[in-house]
Amino acid sequence: MKRLRVAVLASGTGSLLQAILDGQDDHYEVALVVTDRPGVKAIERAQAAGVEVLVFDFKDFASREEFSEAIARAEGERGIDLAIQAGFMRILSPIYFRTLGVPSMNSHPALLPSFPGAHGVREAMEWGVKITGTTIHFVDEEVDHGPIILQEAVVVEESDTEEMLHERIKAVEQRLYPEAIRLFAEGRLEVEGRRVRRL
Ligand code: GRF
């Protein structure tokens, strides 16, 4: 088994990034962290772990295509095997995936295909669902759409605020994401159309 070189794209506090960093083992190493926001906590976390950080400030680019292509090129130059989105809040253009040429994963804080988009936790609560959860999926050119690798339910309590519920969902994401990366590293994820089989 090859030790995967993983890139992590993150925009915020990076608690998911931290879980992925903490999960490094003979399956994978985090070789690069990419963010679109200067000054976020995710940068500190990467630096503390001795991982290279690149900041791609969206406003420095003429278009979403240029922004997306620049990130994919940087990943390619560093020999990345798997590109992970962990709370990355920018939509990447199709050119990102064509340039990247390796698989990409995302973690979404709801049970897809319900509640895609940037406010999955809030929209699930507002809909009044009793169960929501998290989805780790391969990324394709449509937002929150690619084949599902792992899902786990989280019960919505009547006393929940959005923040409380999101914290419980994040705890599950932090456990599932390193597991999904390990399954991939072991060659145990077979994609057939929309379905991912665990070998
Ligand atoms: C996670 O819930 C992720 O699914 C969502 O943003 C959150 C990231 O949190 N897209 P953090 O920045 O890793 O703490």
Cα 173 to Cα 190: distance, rounded to the nearest angstrom: 21
Residue 165 pLDDT level (bands cut at 50, 70, 90): very high
Residue 1 pLDDT level (bands cut at 50, 70, 90): confident
pLDDT digit string, tens, across residues 16-25 = 999 999 999 9
Give the range of the structural domain holding residue 182, as residue numbers without chain letter: 107-199
**113 and 98 share one domain:** no
Residue of 68, 51, 37, 61 lying closest to 7 (CA atoms): 51
Q: Is 108 in the pocket of ligand 1 (CB under 6 A)?
A: yes
**Closest CA to ligand 1's atom 1:** 87
**176 and 190 share one domain:** yes
Q: Is 13 in the pocket of ligand 1 (CB under 6 A)?
A: yes
**48 and 139 share one domain:** no
Interhelix angle 41-48/15-22, rounded to 10 degrees, is 10
Name the pTM for this structure.
0.96
> Can you give the pLDDT at residue 89?
94
**112 and 57 share one domain:** no
Q: Kindly report the number of other CB atoms within 10 A of residue 104's CB atom.
A: 22
**Total structural domains within the chain:** 2
Q: Is 35 in the pocket of ligand 1 (CB under 6 A)?
A: no
The last residue of one of the domains, among 102, 133, 152, is 102
Task: Exactly one of 27, 108, 137, 166 is catalytic; name it.
Answer: 108
**Substitution site in 30, 33, 168, 170 for ligand 1 pocket (most atoms within 8 Å of beta carbon):** 170
**97 and 59 share one domain:** yes
Average pLDDT over residues 148-172: 98
pLDDT digit string, tens, across residues 43-79 = 999 999 999 999 999 999 999 999 999 999 999 999 9
**67 and 137 share one domain:** no
Q: Is 86 in the pocket of ligand 1 (CB under 6 A)?
A: yes
CATH of the domain at 48: 3.40.50.170
Question: Is the pLDDT reported for residue 100 higher than 90?
Answer: yes
